[in-house]
Structure 1
């Protein structure tokens, strides 16, 4: 990775100014023992994880005790281990083979070497089969410090995609040109500071931006995915842009319109919903002799299901992002990743979020609720318009939520009636209420009690619902979902 001289000098000064016994930085004068260097790489890489750093540093040319700039005679580029060049020898004995970077440069007439070492990822970094860790200013075998080893493994489990860096080595002006910071204040109903340094500090406080060791800044995946003016400028995020595709029929044979979003989710959400709504047809139906116009897909349901797809996707699945496909009879909203709970129990399960900081901020600006009520609203919106109940299907790597256009009860398939009955019972139950013959008639928008009774009987026989009290008289019978 190329680093210009200004970056390297800035980094050198920032590291020089650190307090003593920093576990993610080691200073040397002319240390040239290859084995010791390899052990330091392992120790620093592992310690960076515990210190919450993306990189650690081994620096030649700074005096360890005084942090005085003294320069060095050592060069990795010309050093060898036996007949082999030092850099590939070190790389070969590291497991996993981390991509450390060597920078050799001059400053103020002195030579310096900085070894930039990435933090360990998923497993501890080993050198020559041994794991090392920093204890204060000392390099020690990791196996001798079981409490640090346990903490290291816990840290591997807790690194969230949101906290990782999307774009680094930026000046303040570059950060503010890439992120729509004015929208950040508008969405939070806050006054925009006149001091841009305060803007940066607020973005750091919300984990959108990080201050680097060299005094420059990084934009996190969280900051980019929410407030990027152009997601294509972020290599880790450009495939997470939302695709909207409209087809003329019930299959993918005839696409008529497609658009890929370019903005971060927070600033692009309203525009996305408006665009989807503009492609949603309206039709007239007659119910109980009354003609009325309805959207194929209710806006409330669209808002909730799209927000869920954005927030609960698995960002670790590469090469894919949320997709909204609009057909003549349905809308399919697909996001990478499987749900964290059974699809049968989404209505009553406690809320869980794969991306906690993303969900938290989307709640703060009113796009979603963390209480887990999103699926309730989706089902309620469908029932309010007497639509078939939404379905949720899961394949190997994706979750698909399908919303359906209006279909009269007499045209619904048996499985559609059973699913609608089950979802109605579940929605009633989480609302401290019960399914009855009357409530299900209202749900389907019909007055035919015998038909509704047959649907209820079929749902009971198929284990979808059960009587609250089997001994109740038939006309007063109440029902609950099978799991209640």
Structure 2
């Protein structure tokens, strides 16, 4: 069994069902690109190793972690290489602790003829990668926290790689276009650990660049910086706003009760959306067990919030000027965004496979608490609706857009 996450390496990970012998391929001693861990339960140190390999300070293209091997290269007898163990390690990528999420593969392999688990980590295209707000690196056979110089090297290296659109600089923009008070008071403390902040003597420009919010050379704000902190994001990204319309009927020919456009950065928009959605919810009495009644909203706020945040996270900001839309009818709510399936996601697997058009934005939204866990948005919507007594959500996934319909209970 080989688990693939976010990459398309074709390196013979499996050959006619035979497990690879790694001792001759990777070596038998720990190096800057090879780390040994004794067992699957060492999850925190494995997370640090994944983070360090993804940051790839030595510039080797990533690295490898062998689980089931002692520091001296001997194999732990009876190491657990079950499917469950592989899934446990693979899930470290999607739990939201390591941001931006690295590309990894997890497989069974042999080391000196003994079974082990092999984790291969691809170098990130958008370093520095952080674990719980701390960047880790592996310049030698030891993993350690990145110092400011390490982070600056990683930030500079990021510029030379092909970046997702949310990492691109916006020419003509600058710190004057960003809400720096919002950065200092809200985002910085959500993205970087308190311990690192206390010993951090870098300038604000360096902090912005390290968090992918500003280009380190030009001083231009990035797409991510504008989306998260922009004073007026639509001045550089015309489609970066939300249109809300409430109709007094079941179609768009009926009278409009409320019509609003939210043209603000993601952090401010989230607060405004919370109040807006709550203001339009109505509650109803529902009979429970035949003897008692309880009050339930027309729609669970959790499902509405999850659907809207997914729309903002996955939308196409690069080539569409259309907004994300929330259309509220008397019998349903339709939430849509420009931008259809991306990467490994297709119209027939969108509820089982996840990929990210805006990976840095996804990481930022996880830092801010807008996303609970990667790859769980659809299941969370379904669960919230079921608990509230609403019908199943209806999804429409097309080449150029994505939409979900939530119906009243």
Q: TM-score, normalised by structure 2?
A: 0.54
SS at structure 2 position matched to 1:303 = helix
SS at structure 2 position matched to 1:257 = strand
Counterpart of 1:62? none
| Alpha-carbon distance in 2 for matches of 1:225, 1:169 | 12
Counterpart of 1:210? 215
Counterpart of 2:341? 339
**More divergent stretch after superposition (197-206 vs 174-183):** 174-183
SS at structure 1 position matched to 2:203 = helix
Deviations 1:372-396 (A, max 9, x none): 0111111111111221100101345
Deviations 1:331-372 (A, max 9, x none): 1110111123245534433x3111111111111222114530
Relative distance call for 1:306 and 1:177 in structure 2 (3 A) is closer
| Alpha-carbon distance in 2 for matches of 1:344, 1:306 | 22
Write the mapping of 1:81-160 to structure 2, written as runs, cut at 5 A: 158-160=162-164
Counterpart of 2:312? 310
Could you tell me how far 1:321 is from its partner in structure 2? 2.0
SS at structure 1 position matched to 2:207 = helix
Relative distance call for 1:280 and 1:317 in structure 2 (3 A) is farther
| Alpha-carbon distance in 2 for matches of 1:177, 1:347 | 36
Contact 1:183 1:267 in 2 (8 A): no
| Alpha-carbon distance in 1 for matches of 2:273, 2:393 | 21
Counterpart of 1:386? 389
| Alpha-carbon distance in 1 for matches of 2:279, 2:359 | 31
Deviations 1:266-289 (A, max 9, x none): 342133122112112222233442
Counterpart of 1:198? 203
Relative distance call for 1:352 and 1:231 in structure 2 (3 A) is same
Could you tell me how far 1:195 is from its partner in structure 2? 10
| Alpha-carbon distance in 1 for matches of 2:201, 2:251 | 50
Relative distance call for 1:211 and 1:301 in structure 2 (3 A) is same
| Alpha-carbon distance in 2 for matches of 1:245, 1:306 | 14
Counterpart of 2:167? 163
Counterpart of 2:374? 371
| Alpha-carbon distance in 2 for matches of 1:324, 1:187 | 28
Contact 1:313 1:336 in 2 (8 A): yes
Greater RCO, CA 8 A, separation 6+: 2
Counterpart of 2:274? 273
Could you tell me how far 1:184 is from its partner in structure 2? 1.6
Write the mapping of 1:45-64 to structure 2, written as runs, cut at 5 A: none
> Any gaps of 5 or more consecutive residues in structure 1?
1-154, 407-484
> Any gaps of 5 or more consecutive residues in structure 2?
1-158
Q: Is it true that 1:249 corresponds to 2:256 in the alignment?
A: no
Relative distance call for 1:156 and 1:247 in structure 2 (3 A) is farther
> Number of matched residues?
244
Could you tell me how far 1:255 is from its partner in structure 2? 1.3
| Alpha-carbon distance in 2 for matches of 1:292, 1:209 | 50
SS at structure 1 position matched to 2:208 = helix
Counterpart of 1:352? 355
Q: Is it true that 1:259 corresponds to 2:263 in the alignment?
A: no
SS at structure 1 position matched to 2:170 = strand
Counterpart of 2:78? none
Counterpart of 1:436? none
Task: Report the aligned-residue RMSD.
Answer: 3.0
